[in-house]
Structure 1
Amino acid sequence: MEMEERFEDGMLDVGDGHTIYWRSQGNAQAPAIVILHGGPGGAMNPQWAGLLDAQQWRIVLFDQRGCGKSTPFGELRNNGLADLVGDIEALREHLGIGQWAVFGGSWGTTLALAYAAAHPSRCLGFLLRGIYLARGEDTDWFLWDVRRVYPDVHASFLDAIEQAAGRRPACAREVLEFSGVPLSRFDAASTALARAWRDYESTLSRVNHDTQAEESDARTEEESSRAAIAMALLERHYMADELPPPALLPAVPRFAHLPCQIVHGRFDMVCPVDQAKALADAWPRANLLIVDAAGHWTFDPGVAAAVREAGKRLRTEMGSAQPAA
């Protein structure tokens, strides 16, 4: 396949007052794959594209509503799962792509499954890392039950909420209830709580906490704070107001004929691995690889290596699929 390298980016008006930022790169003649970032509110990470062979894919990334370069920043109105599914479809149409593969991580896997259920004919296959089925028990684990493994980290998280809200949560529901107003103020206290939320999730994501292994971060202090606010604000919004979604596992038969590669860290403390096993069990064409001694972090060496290989396998399974205009 002769490679025509292309890099494009732009802003797409998706309605409801929202505009999303997108970028496309890689081989313009190859099948497209859209990358769905985590969070919600995590924004795109161009390093994800580096896990894919740019000669074999046309790689599309975008910032979901309310985060990254999408506008308005931090907007919660008209920002729900159905809205994001609609944005994926609007972006596909805008770029003139007939069908594409879907690569999602964490919350991005939730969104990938919801998109597949709504638009199975537009999908070629799936690469999913760190499955989050967004059931009540999955959210409760992240907000509360994980304290059985990380009691000290969870206590510090509750300390930050108590400092910002004046009340200490006694259950997962109260974590969401008490943090809502402080996070929406966009002031110094909001930033402090958002950073605590971000640090809590980051700690749970890694098995190896060696600072030498941290991914490079060239953001300014302001950019880092802005990213933390988007993550905490939108995660809290979705967990409190949008989840759980319609059950995702019963929808699998709509797209079970398509190939799927699943990568999940065995010691994932954000999204326990039973979620990946449940999805694989429901999907005959899914291949599940559990990475030992790895957690939720995309760039854990074991997880990153597994994702690279899974991307190659997916491309092989798709065979000679070509981009349809």
Structure 2
Amino acid sequence: METQERFEDGMLDVGDGHTIYWRTQGNAQAPAIVILHGGPGGAMNPQWADLLDAQKWRIVLFDQRGCGRSTPFGELRNNGLADLVGDIEALREHLGIAQWAVFGGSWGTTLGLAYGAAHPSRCLGFLLRGIYLARSEDTDWFLWGVRRVYPDVHARFLDAIEQAAGRRPASAREVLEFSGAPLSRFDATSTALARAWRDYESTLSRVNHEKQEDESDARTEEESSRAAIAMALLERHYMADELPPPALLPAVPRFAHLPCQIVHGRFDMVCPADQAQALADAWPGATFQIVDAAGHWTFDPGVATVLREAGKRLRIEMDGAKPAA
């Protein structure tokens, strides 16, 4: 069969005043896979598509509400988990795709599981990296519990909140409470706090903290600040106002007949590996790989290599997957 590689992009009006940016690439005749970025607010990273064989997949990426090229930027109204699940389905229909696989990382795994629960018949399989179940204890770890491993990094994070808000948080709840107003102002104080939030998460994400080139190195100062604001603003919004979602693990049996590849760094300090283990326990047919000497970052040592192989296995498993009973 002759393959047809193409690149397309556009804007899709999803209602509620929101428009999302999308792009497709790869083999237009192959099974589709939608990539769900992290954050919330992280925006798409085209480098994720490089982890997949473009000859074997029609790859779909998009920026979730309020971030990246989607508009309006930083909008929190009508921006919740159910809205994003609806956007995925609207994009599928817009592109004329009957079914697709789901590739998500971090918050993208939360969103992917929620989408699978809502639309299991539209899913072909799952590739999930850095599992975030979005339970209260999972969010509390990121905002507070991790200080037991990174006391210095956590202290600098609290310093930034205190400088912006005039009060120093004494709990995860106060991190969210005190940071809300400063992040919403879109001024110099907001930018400084957003950058501190971004740096905090970036540090926790990697095992090797030496300078490594990534997609952020090519950004201008303005682009870097804008990306940091979207990440911090939307993460804080979801953690404070939208989470925890309906329990995700009890919904797994709705789509557990589908193939799934779970990849998680053993030393993930953003989303500890017990979350991935809990998902694997709920999904007996899933393949679960813990990557040693790796953290939360998609391109941390070993993670990218394992993801490439997991993507190949998923593609093979999809061909032999049995339909739901």
Pairing 1:140–2:140 present? yes
Q: Deviations over 1:167-211 (max 9, x none)?
A: 000000000000000000000000000000000000000000111
Q: Deviations over 1:74-126 (max 9, x none)?
A: 00000000000000000000000000000000000000000000000000000
Q: Deviations over 1:245-289 (max 9, x none)?
A: 000000001000000000000000000000000000100221100
Change (3 A) 1:239 1:259: same
The alpha-carbon deviation at position 303 of structure 1 amounts to: 0.3
Q: Deviations over 1:216-248 (max 9, x none)?
A: 621100000000000000000000000000000
Cα distance in 1, alignment partners of residues 324 and 122 from structure 2: 10
Given that 2:22 and 2:60 are in contact with CA atoms closer than 8 Å, whether structure 1 keeps it comes out as yes
Change (3 A) 1:227 1:19: same
Change (3 A) 1:28 1:320: farther
Q: Deviations over 1:13-66 (max 9, x none)?
A: 000000000000000000000000000000000000000000000000000000
The alpha-carbon deviation at position 320 of structure 1 amounts to: 7.0
Given that 2:21 and 2:63 are in contact with CA atoms closer than 8 Å, whether structure 1 keeps it comes out as yes
Given that 1:97 and 1:323 are in contact with CA atoms closer than 8 Å, whether structure 2 keeps it comes out as no
Change (3 A) 1:55 1:193: same
Change (3 A) 1:322 1:219: farther
The alpha-carbon deviation at position 140 of structure 1 amounts to: 0.1
Deviates most, 75-84 or 206-215: 206-215
Change (3 A) 1:41 1:239: same
Given that 1:30 and 1:323 are in contact with CA atoms closer than 8 Å, whether structure 2 keeps it comes out as no
Cα distance in 1, alignment partners of residues 315 and 94 from structure 2: 24
Given that 2:100 and 2:125 are in contact with CA atoms closer than 8 Å, whether structure 1 keeps it comes out as yes
The alpha-carbon deviation at position 322 of structure 1 amounts to: 14
Cα distance in 2, alignment partners of residues 231 and 299 from structure 1: 19
3-state SS, counterpart of residue 261 of structure 2: strand
Cα distance in 2, alignment partners of residues 285 and 77 from structure 1: 38
Change (3 A) 1:9 1:195: same
Cα distance in 1, alignment partners of residues 48 and 20 from structure 2: 18
Cα distance in 2, alignment partners of residues 266 and 320 from structure 1: 30
Given that 2:293 and 2:301 are in contact with CA atoms closer than 8 Å, whether structure 1 keeps it comes out as no
Change (3 A) 1:212 1:18: closer
Cα distance in 2, alignment partners of residues 214 and 14 from structure 1: 31
Change (3 A) 1:27 1:323: farther
The alpha-carbon deviation at position 2 of structure 1 amounts to: 2.2
Given that 1:30 and 1:57 are in contact with CA atoms closer than 8 Å, whether structure 2 keeps it comes out as yes
Deviates most, 110-119 or 311-320: 311-320
3-state SS, counterpart of residue 202 of structure 1: helix
3-state SS, counterpart of residue 23 of structure 1: strand
The alpha-carbon deviation at position 131 of structure 1 amounts to: 0.1
Structure 2 alignment gaps of length 5 or more: none
The alpha-carbon deviation at position 323 of structure 1 amounts to: 15
Cα distance in 1, alignment partners of residues 101 and 289 from structure 2: 19
Change (3 A) 1:283 1:322: closer
Q: In angstroms, what is the RMSD of aligned CA positions?
A: 2.1
Cα distance in 2, alignment partners of residues 91 and 100 from structure 1: 11
Cα distance in 1, alignment partners of residues 262 and 321 from structure 2: 20
| 4+ long deviations beyond 6 Å | 320-325
3-state SS, counterpart of residue 217 of structure 2: coil
The alpha-carbon deviation at position 3 of structure 1 amounts to: 1.2
3-state SS, counterpart of residue 258 of structure 1: coil
Given that 2:35 and 2:103 are in contact with CA atoms closer than 8 Å, whether structure 1 keeps it comes out as yes
1:10 counterpart residue number? 10
Change (3 A) 1:216 1:160: closer
Given that 2:258 and 2:321 are in contact with CA atoms closer than 8 Å, whether structure 1 keeps it comes out as no
Given that 1:29 and 1:322 are in contact with CA atoms closer than 8 Å, whether structure 2 keeps it comes out as no
Q: How many pairs does the alignment contain?
A: 325
Change (3 A) 1:15 1:215: closer
The alpha-carbon deviation at position 301 of structure 1 amounts to: 2.9
Change (3 A) 1:121 1:177: same
Q: TM-score, normalised by structure 2?
A: 0.98
Deviates most, 211-220 or 97-106: 211-220
Question: Quick one: percent identity of the two aligned structures?
Answer: 90
3-state SS, counterpart of residue 198 of structure 2: helix
The alpha-carbon deviation at position 213 of structure 1 amounts to: 5.2
Deviates most, 313-322 or 138-147: 313-322
